[in-house]
Amino acid sequence: MVTKKAKKKPEDVDINIKVNNLDKAVRAGIKYHKKEKWRCNGSGFWIFGSALAIVLSYTQNSSILWAIIHGIISWFYVIYRIILLYA
């Protein structure tokens, strides 16, 4: 009589190895997530500056062309307008 050996499934591998690797992966993922979150907030800062510059420019000049130009230079135009307001 011939007996067949049962093949180990990938799930039957030592569970301690999987848990340690999962723990490392989770820690790495959290570090990566924090970096992504910071990068996202930085881009939001520039987008907000561009939107603010466009609104300020359009209310001042009523020109879409100037609004686009001031949106490109974003925060520089906003700071310029603040200086003009208080000067």
Over the chain (87 residues), what is each successive 10-residue block's mean pLDDT?
Answer: 60 53 59 50 80 94 94 93 89
d(CA 49, CA 56): 10
Q: C-alpha distances in angstroms, 4 versus 1, 8, 72?
A: 10, 12, 72
The model's pTM:
0.52
Question: What per-residue confidence (pLDDT) applies to 45?
Answer: 82
Residue from 60, 84, 43, 45 nearest 70 by CA: 60
